[in-house]
């Protein structure tokens, strides 16, 4: 476990031995009790007003794009300086990575840890000390406007990537896992109440938050705007105290989402909110008065302030980070962005080996689409990091084309003559991209939930027009989540899902198109044949009910085939699943096993494979997903190479929440573990019994 201690310096006597974020050799971290002693010393010195001053932001307007909280100059207590976001530091220019769901499609936890570290380093370089990321909300339905920000639909997958990202960030600054919890509708986000029972809450909508608390010691958590079972998240005692603080042992702080993220003074303080951001509408003098009136015990304030001071000391915030502007958009960080874009691209279709393109065999390549020369980085909400430069699909293709003649048609409606030219090319790349008005964080100027999973009609018409005449139509999709492919896909030769691929997206796309690298992305969320195959998406009501099933599990429970299942992705080689072995034949709810899966690259090209491990309970007596992802491992294979990957399995991930016992328990039923390249293809399996 990459505990905060292992990589940051703590205070010994109020003097940071070395600042977070500096590249200087970090001193040996202080033991926790030195921090706790210091916390108590500070707490004993603080007046009630000073304690409450620690519990809210310093104002609506950010300073150099950073949102501050109060310092206490008298005692030398530093400020928090918070900054977004999940795809890069939203302060000035910064490395702009592919969006969260594109990184979710890499299934590469080591890469995600490196990306987290890069963002943490750039946060510190800009004077920030809290990065408001990762977004790890369950993608319950792809029409969610912020689908692009999270990693995908599955809690095990979200937890693994979230842990890795937080570990990386927290080598330099504090991370903040968001938005706790069940935040997955954008248009009604400020008021909707998500109704769910304890099983859905504990098994689906919070276990990944539990993972980042228990396994990565996340420094802070941001409460969501919405309500859960009628209570706003920032004052929801079940979420913030029963689960997060008491249940999981979280010893950091909870900050609200901005402005409407805090709805009360007394309710929020008693419910477990530690910091109101970015202002003091409800905390501040109102909270002081509530304590003085006996409505909020001062012990409650002390608990919040302890959490705040503890994190300030653990991350040595009172010694200003040695800012190193050279790390921002540094070559290694930009290369990470390129690698993430490349590994996140998912090859959905490849008829007759249309891809990769052989540069030597291509004379003329057409690149088509209104947005083909526009870098699509994502929405324009709070995660809107901006790079100094970004590479569009066309620019990347031109740069990577070698001697090929590239002709561009930057239109959704090519003329007859243009269509003739497109049809006469050796191949045509058609780039279809969604825009911030199609999906994004809900802001006064736009964004919000998608109105449909279908591509815009003009784009469908373009795809059909080109593929009717160009036999080698290669489609590149840029969107924040699954789209419908049925109406147009049959005439195409290849389809790549590139998501919003970040500042280096065009180069990464070219590397895949020309075969410099094989595609290895795997879908982090199911692509349905039609929207009706998914649970209904209600972006208007003030109350919605969530159950145990959505996405792939929803389709499986109904026997509905997906257009492309969870975990799906093609490569440029063929992988054979040879065997699965377990280091035990039984497992307890609090136990673990290791699955060993042997795979062979039977093709002629190097290929990365994401080996996925799924679990099914035989004749389950309770409602549950027919098949559930319980682990995965990514492995690079040379042509002909065989490898055995080890995938740890936790009994907890096979268990269900027994409300009567108030515990996770295993059903007295057989369990089948199966492994394969997607939720729908699991060629090897092994049985395990609960104990
Ligand atoms: C926004 C977002 C949140 C972000 C915060 C600060 O409303 O919901 O993700 O971190 O405000 O920008």
C-alpha closest to that of 196 among 182, 177, 180, 178 = 182
> Which numbered atom of ligand 1 lies nearest the CA of 135?
9
In this structure, the answer to whether residues 334 and 419 fall within a common structural domain is yes
> Which numbered atom of ligand 1 lies nearest the CA of 178?
9
Give the total number of structural domains in the chain. Answer: 3
pLDDT digits (tens, 9 = 90+) for 45-60: 999 999 999 999 999 9
Q: Residue 446: its pLDDT value, please?
A: 87
Q: Among 260, 381, 384, 443, name the best residue to mutate to test ligand 1's pocket (greatest count of ligand atoms within 8 A of Cβ).
A: 381
Instruction: Tell me: pLDDT of 445 over 90.
Output: no
Q: How many Å lie between the centroid of ligand 1 and the Cα of residue 382? A: 5
| Residues 647-662, mean pLDDT to the nearest whole number | 96
Q: Which residue among the candidates 84, 154, 215, 257 is catalytic per the annotation?
A: 257
Whole-number Å distance between alpha carbons of 477 and 496: 6
Instruction: Tell me: pLDDT of 6 over 80.
Output: no
Name the closest-CA residue to atom 2, ligand 1: 382
For 369, the token pair is: 């689409």
| Contact status, residue 422 vs residue 368, Cβ threshold 8 Å | yes
Q: How many CA atoms, within 13 angstroms, populate the side-chain half-sphere of residue 468? A: 9
Q: How many Å lie between the centroid of ligand 1 and the Cα of residue 465? A: 41
Whole-number Å distance between alpha carbons of 261 and 232: 8
Kindly report the length of the chain.
Answer: 691
Whole-number Å distance between alpha carbons of 220 and 308: 9
> Which numbered atom of ligand 1 lies nearest the CA of 67?
6
Task: Give me the residue label for tokens 């001062």.
Answer: 298
Q: Which residues pair with 475 in a beta bridge?
A: 430, 495
Q: How many Å lie between the centroid of ligand 1 and the Cα of residue 257? A: 6
Note if the bond before 179 is cis, omega within 30 degrees: yes
Q: How many Å lie between the centroid of ligand 1 and the Cα of residue 558? A: 36
Q: Among 132, 190, 254, name the best residue to mutate to test ligand 1's pocket (greatest count of ligand atoms within 8 A of Cβ).
A: 132
676: domain CATH number is 2.60.40.10
Domain boundary among 498, 521, 544: 521
In this structure, the answer to whether residues 392 and 503 fall within a common structural domain is yes
Identify whether 95 is part of a domain.
no
Q: Residue 314: its pLDDT value, please?
A: 96
Task: Give me the residue label for tokens 């502007």.
Answer: 325
Name the closest-CA residue to atom 7, ligand 1: 258
Task: Give the list of residues 6+ apart from residue 553 with CB closer than 8 angstroms, or none.
Answer: 625, 626, 627, 628
| Contact status, residue 178 vs residue 169, Cβ threshold 8 Å | no
Name the closest-CA residue to atom 4, ligand 1: 382
Q: Residue 31: its pLDDT value, please?
A: 67
Q: Domain range spanning residue 351?
A: 328-521
Q: Residue 318: its pLDDT value, please?
A: 83
Query: Which residues of 276-353 form beta strands (DSSP E)?
Result: 346-350
Q: Among 258, 380, 443, name the best residue to mutate to test ligand 1's pocket (greatest count of ligand atoms within 8 A of Cβ).
A: 258
The secondary structure element, H or E, covering residue 111 is helix 109-125
Whole-number Å distance between alpha carbons of 180 and 597: 35
pLDDT digits (tens, 9 = 90+) for 160-188: 999 999 999 999 999 999 999 999 999 99
| Contact status, residue 204 vs residue 138, Cβ threshold 8 Å | yes
> Which numbered atom of ligand 1 lies nearest the CA of 133?
10
Within a 10 A sphere around the Cβ of 623, how many other Cβ atoms? 12
C-alpha closest to that of 571 among 649, 527, 611, 518 = 518
In this structure, the answer to whether residues 351 and 426 fall within a common structural domain is yes
In this structure, the answer to whether residues 344 and 485 fall within a common structural domain is yes
The pLDDT-based confidence of 30 (bands split at 50, 70, 90) is low
For 260-290, b/e burial (b = at least 16 CB within 10 A) is ebbbbbbbbbbbbbbbbbbbbbbbbeebbeb
Task: Give the list of residues 6+ apart from residue 195 with CB closer than 8 angstroms, or none.
Answer: 229, 230, 543, 544, 545, 546
In this structure, the answer to whether residues 596 and 511 fall within a common structural domain is no
Q: Residue 321: its pLDDT value, please?
A: 66
Q: Residue 5: its pLDDT value, please?
A: 33
> Which numbered atom of ligand 1 lies nearest the CA of 84?
10
Whole-number Å distance between alpha carbons of 331 and 325: 13
In this structure, the answer to whether residues 292 and 340 fall within a common structural domain is no
Q: How many Å lie between the centroid of ligand 1 and the Cα of residue 620? A: 40
- Please give the mean pLDDT across all residues of the chain: 95
Q: Among 128, 145, 257, 442, name the best residue to mutate to test ligand 1's pocket (greatest count of ligand atoms within 8 A of Cβ).
A: 257
Identify whether 161 is part of a domain.
no
Identify whether 11 is part of a domain.
no
Q: pTM to 2 decimals?
A: 0.95
Whole-number Å distance between alpha carbons of 688 and 684: 14
In this structure, the answer to whether residues 297 and 350 fall within a common structural domain is no
Say if strands 446-448 and 440-443 run parallel, antiparallel, or are unpaired.
antiparallel
Identify whether 145 is part of a domain.
no
Identify whether 510 is part of a domain.
yes
C-alpha closest to that of 138 among 214, 220, 88, 196 = 196
Residue 440 falls in which region: left (phi positive, over 0), alpha (psi -120 to 50) or beta: left
In this structure, the answer to whether residues 458 and 358 fall within a common structural domain is yes
Task: Give the list of residues 6+ apart from residue 288 with CB closer than 8 angstroms, or none.
Answer: 48, 49, 52
Q: Residue 203: its pLDDT value, please?
A: 98
For 331-346, b/e burial (b = at least 16 CB within 10 A) is eebbebbbbbbbbbbb
Identify whether 217 is part of a domain.
yes
| Residues 669-682, mean pLDDT to the nearest whole number | 98
Name the closest-CA residue to atom 12, ligand 1: 382
In this structure, the answer to whether residues 274 and 346 fall within a common structural domain is no
Q: Residue 16: its pLDDT value, please?
A: 32
| Contact status, residue 100 vs residue 86, Cβ threshold 8 Å | yes
In this structure, the answer to whether residues 435 and 461 fall within a common structural domain is yes
Q: How many Å lie between the centroid of ligand 1 and the Cα of residue 68? A: 14
Instruction: Express as a percent the part of the chain with pLDDT over 70.
Output: 95
Q: How many Å lie between the centroid of ligand 1 and the Cα of residue 381? A: 8
Q: How many Å lie between the centroid of ligand 1 and the Cα of residue 127? A: 19
Q: Active site includes 257?
A: yes
Instruction: Express as a percent the part of the chain with pLDDT over 90.
Output: 93
pLDDT digits (tens, 9 = 90+) for 519-552: 999 999 999 999 999 999 999 999 999 999 999 9
Query: Which residues of 489-641 form beta strands (DSSP E)?
Result: 494-497, 543-545, 575-582, 586-587, 592-601, 607-617, 628-637
Task: Give the list of residues 6+ apart from residue 110 with CB closer than 8 angstroms, or none.
Answer: 164
Lowest mean pLDDT, pick from 21-25, 229-233, 536-540: 21-25
Q: How many Å lie between the centroid of ligand 1 and the Cα of residue 218? A: 18
Note if the bond before 14 is cis, omega within 30 degrees: no
> Which numbered atom of ligand 1 lies nearest the CA of 176?
10
| Contact status, residue 393 vs residue 476, Cβ threshold 8 Å | yes
> Which numbered atom of ligand 1 lies nearest the CA of 179?
9
- Residue list, ligand 1 pocket, CB within 6 Å: 84, 132, 178, 257-258, 382
In this structure, the answer to whether residues 288 and 367 fall within a common structural domain is no
> Which numbered atom of ligand 1 lies nearest the CA of 224?
8
Whole-number Å distance between alpha carbons of 374 and 608: 29
Whole-number Å distance between alpha carbons of 425 and 363: 8
Q: Residue 565: its pLDDT value, please?
A: 98
Cα 297 to Cα 22, 233, 294, 300, 410: the distances in Å are: 40, 21, 6, 5, 64
217: domain CATH number is 3.20.20.300
Residue 69 DSSP label: B
Directed axis angle between helix 505-513 and helix 331-344, to 10°? 50
C-alpha closest to that of 666 among 605, 626, 620 = 620
Q: Residue 17: its pLDDT value, please?
A: 31
Lowest mean pLDDT, pick from 13-27, 95-109, 651-665: 13-27
Domain boundary among 500, 521, 542: 521
Identify whether 668 is part of a domain.
yes
Chain-centroid distance, C-alpha 465: 35
Task: Give the list of residues 6+ apart from residue 443 with CB closer than 8 angstroms, or none.
Answer: 380, 381
Strands of 174-180's sheet, edge to edge? 67-68, 81-83, 130-131, 174-180, 220-223, 253-255
Domain boundary among 494, 521, 548: 521
Q: How many Å lie between the centroid of ligand 1 and the Cα of residue 551? A: 26
Name the closest-CA residue to atom 11, ligand 1: 258
Identify whether 253 is part of a domain.
yes
> Which numbered atom of ligand 1 lies nearest the CA of 189?
8
In this structure, the answer to whether residues 353 and 400 fall within a common structural domain is yes
Q: Residue 24: its pLDDT value, please?
A: 40
Cα 340 to Cα 101, 153, 280, 432, 523: the distances in Å are: 11, 19, 39, 20, 14
Q: How many Å lie between the centroid of ligand 1 and the Cα of residue 258? A: 6
Q: Residue 319: its pLDDT value, please?
A: 78
Q: Compute the chain's Rg from CA coordinates.
A: 25
Whole-number Å distance between alpha carbons of 345 and 506: 11
C-alpha closest to that of 551 among 568, 538, 533, 569 = 533
The pLDDT-based confidence of 487 (bands split at 50, 70, 90) is confident
Name the closest-CA residue to atom 9, ligand 1: 382
The secondary structure element, H or E, covering residue 218 is none
Q: Which residues pair with 16 in a beta bridge?
A: 11
Q: How many Å lie between the centroid of ligand 1 and the Cα of residue 133? A: 10
């Amino acid at each position: 476990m990459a505990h905060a201690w292992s990589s940051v310096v703590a205070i010994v006597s109020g003097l940071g031995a070395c600042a977070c974020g500096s590249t200087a050799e970090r001193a040996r971290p202080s033991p926790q009790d030195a921090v706790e002693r210091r916390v108590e010393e500070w707490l004993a010195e603080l007046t009630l007003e000073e304690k409450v001053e620690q519990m809210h932001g310093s104002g609506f307007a950010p300073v150099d794009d950073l949102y501050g909280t109060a310092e206490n100059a008298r005692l030398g207590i530093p400020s928090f300086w918070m900054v977004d976001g999940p795809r890069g530091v939203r302060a000035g220019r910064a490395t702009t990575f592919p969006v969260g769901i594109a990184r979710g499609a890499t299934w590469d936890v080591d890469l995600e840890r490196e990306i987290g570290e890069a963002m943490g380093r750039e946060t510190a370089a800009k004077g920030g000390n809290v990065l408001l990321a990762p977004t790890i909300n369950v993608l319950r339905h792809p029409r969610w406007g912020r689908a692009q920000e999270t990693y995908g639909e599955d809690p095990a997958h979200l937890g693994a990537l979230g842990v890795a990202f937080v570990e990386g960030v927290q080598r330099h600054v504090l991370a903040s896992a968001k938005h706790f919890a069940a935040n997955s509708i954008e248009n009604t986000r400020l008021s909707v109440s998500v109704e769910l029972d304890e099983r859905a809450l504990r098994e689906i909508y919070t276990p990944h938050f539990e993972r980042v608390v228990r396994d990565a010691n996340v420094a802070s958590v941001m409460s969501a705007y919405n309500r859960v079972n009628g209570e706003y998240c920032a004052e929801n005692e079940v979420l913030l105290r029963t689960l997060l603080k008491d249940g999981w042992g979280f010893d950091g702080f909870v900050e609200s989402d901005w402005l409407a993220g805090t709805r009360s003074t007394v309710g929020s303080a008693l419910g477990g909110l530690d910091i109101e951001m970015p202002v003091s509408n409800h905390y501040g003098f109102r909270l002081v008065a509530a304590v003085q009136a006996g409505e909020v015990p001062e012990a409650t304030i002390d608990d919040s302030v302890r959490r705040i001071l503890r994190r300030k000391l653990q991350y040595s915030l009172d010694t200003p980070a040695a800012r190193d502007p050279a790390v921002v958009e540094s070559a290694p960080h930009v290369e990470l962005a390129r690698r993430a874009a490349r590994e996140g691209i998912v090859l959905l279709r490849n008829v007759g080996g249309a891809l990769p393109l052989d540069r030597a065999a291509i004379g003329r390549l057409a690149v088509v689409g209104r947005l083909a020369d526009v870098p699509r980085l994502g929405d324009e909400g709070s995660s809107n990091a901006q790079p100094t430069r970004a590479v569009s699909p066309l620019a990347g293709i031109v740069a990577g084309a070698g001697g090929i003649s590239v002709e561009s048609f930057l239109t959704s409606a090519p003329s007859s003559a243009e269509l003739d030219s497109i049809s006469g090319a050796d191949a045509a790349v058609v780039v279809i991209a969604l825009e911030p008005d199609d999906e994004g964080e809900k802001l006064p100027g736009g964004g919000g939930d998608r109105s449909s999973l279908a591509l815009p009609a003009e784009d469908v018409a373009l795809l059909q027009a080109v593929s009717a005449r160009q036999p080698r139509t290669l489609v590149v999709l840029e969107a924040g989540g699954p789209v419908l492919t049925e109406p147009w896909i049959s005439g195409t030769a290849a389809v790549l899902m590139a998501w919003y691929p970040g500042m280096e997206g065009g180069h990464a796309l070219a590397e895949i198109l020309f075969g410099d690298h094989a595609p290895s992305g795997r879908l982090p969320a199911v692509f349905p044949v039609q929207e009706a195959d998914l649970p209904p998406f209600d972006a208007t009501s003030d109350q919605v009910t969530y159950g145990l099933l959505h996405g792939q599990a929803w389709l499986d429970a109904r026997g509905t085939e997906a257009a492309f299942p969870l975990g799906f992705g093609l490569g440029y080689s063929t992988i054979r699943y040879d065997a699965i072995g377990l280091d035990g034949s039984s497992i307890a709810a609090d136990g673990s096993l290791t699955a060993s899966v042997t795979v062979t690259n039977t093709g002629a090209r190097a290929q990365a494979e994401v080996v996925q491990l799924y679990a099914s309970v035989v004749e389950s007596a309770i409602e549950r997903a027919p098949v559930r992802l319980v682990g995965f491992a990514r492995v690079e294979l040379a042509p002909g190479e065989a490898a055995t990957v080890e995938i740890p399995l936790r009994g907890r991930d096979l268990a269900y929440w027994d409300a009567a016992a108030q515990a996770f328990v295993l059903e007295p039923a057989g369990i089948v573990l199966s492994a394969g390249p997607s939720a729908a293809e699991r060629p090897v399996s092994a049985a395990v019994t609960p104990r």
